[in-house]
Amino acid sequence: MSDGSSASIAHSAPRGPSPSALLQAGKLLAAVLAIAVLPLLFTDNYWQSTLIVCAINVLLALGLDLVLGYAGQLNLGQSAFYGLGAYISTLLITRLGVPYWGAFLLGMFGAGLAGVALSVFGVRLRGHYLAIASLGFAVITYQILLNWIGLTQGPLGIYAIPPPPPLALPGLPVIAFAHPANMFYLIAGFTLLAYLLLDAMLRSPIGEALTAVREDEISAASLGINCAAWKVFAFGIGAAFAGAAGCFYASFVGTLVPDAFFITESFTILAMVIVGGMGTLIGPVWGAILLTILPELLRGIGDLRLVLYGLALTLVVMLMPGGLVQAAQAILRRLGPRRAARSSP
């Protein structure tokens, strides 16, 4: 767990702020460009939908990474927060006629609140105990979604959930989110904002406090850090991210069934964070993209595709325990000295 923080430390090296700031700006520009160009490159419905799922999964993985990689809490309940966000916002829209963005905020807030509640309860549990407690929370949430038929219509599902209302900016054509490319811009844009927000937060003293709690709770407490409060804080934010992802998911797919939020979803999100590299922010982004695209690319080989997916997951953990990003950094570092020698004056 401790190795993960090296990436963020390297980024925020105190000396020479201008080159690193330039690098940051370049990376941000690349991300914006990628988001802008991708739906133009992949124009068919199928791949545009895959892009949207990618963006949703990145949001889910970022939320879990904050809890797992930065606050060091093994949370297997992310599927529950995801489902809560989806169902709360959808029920507010379809039953009470709440406007979309109001329901979105309430869904996000509701999921975050559930995260805070679970965390307040789980704050004294550690490691596998917290893992199983959060897994239990996910099972209970799933069962309630499945069995409270009067509210959620259980396995029958909720249909015809409207997409977000069209956005009419002055001087621009109306942006309709029924079109997948626009939906992708909306979700990917939100996810990018969330990333930047997390990045800023983790560079601030908040990030240092969280890392201190993760590395050694007793030392952190002796420095006056309220460990329990920080864990609850991270849990709440991480769950709110999942809640936002759930709101987007419901309005993108248009139907909701409890099975979309079964506990296996938690494991998928966990795998994204680990494969990418937990405790870095960019790791879960790549992990989520890879593990979303990989099963689609393997679709051609039929029945065995998920077998290969499982094999790939196992091999990444066995061979690159720090995740893809750390492995890539190690390779770059090995190439690094030669490059530095060449470019030094």
Partner 1 sequence: MIVAQQLLNGVVMGSLYVLVALGLTLVYGVLVQINFAHADIVTVGAFAAYFYMHVLGGSYLVAILVALLVGGALGWLINVAIFEPLRAKRSELLPLIATIGVSVMMQNGMLAWFGPVPYAFETQYSNEVLKFGGMFITWQNLLIITVSTIAIGLLYLFMRFTFLGKALRAVAQDRDTAGLMGINQSQVIMLTFVIASAFAGMGGAMLGPILVLTPFAGASVIVKAFAIVIIGGFGNMEGTILAGILVGLIESFTTQYLDPGWTDLVVFGLLLATLAFRPTGLIAESTEENV
Q: Which residues form the interface with partner 1 (CB under 8 A)?
A: 1, 74, 121-122, 124-125, 127-129, 131-133, 135-137, 139-140, 143-144, 146-147, 263, 267, 270-271, 274, 303-307, 309-315, 317-318, 321
C-beta of 124 vs 203, nearer to partner 1: 124
Cβ at position 30, least distance to partner 1 in Å: 29
- By beta-carbon proximity to partner 1, the closer residue of 17 and 321 is 321
Contacts of 85 (CB under 8 A, 6+ apart): 107, 108, 110, 111, 242, 243, 244, 245, 246, 247
Question: Do 232 and 123 touch, CB atoms closer than 8 A?
Answer: yes
Dihedral angle sign, alpha carbons of residues 52, 56, 57, 58: positive
Report DSSP letters for 162-190, one per residue.
PPPPPB--TTS--B-TTSHHHHHHHHHHH
Half-sphere exposure of 262 (CA within 13 A, CB side): 6
Q: Given the complex with partner 1, which of 109 and 267 has the nearer CB atom?
A: 267
Least Cβ distance, residue 204 to partner 1 (angstroms): 26
Report in angstroms how near the CB of residue 260 gets to partner 1 at its nearest.
17
Q: Which one, 155 or 165, has the nearer CB to partner 1?
A: 155
As measured in angstroms, the least distance from the Cβ of 303 to partner 1 is: 4
Least distance in Å: CB of 114 to partner 1? 13
Tokens representing 261? Answer: 């939020």
Per DSSP (E only), the strands in the chain are: none
Residues in contact with 13: Cβ distance below 8 Å, sequence separation at least 6, in sequence order: 20
Nearer to partner 1, 19 or 321 (CB): 321
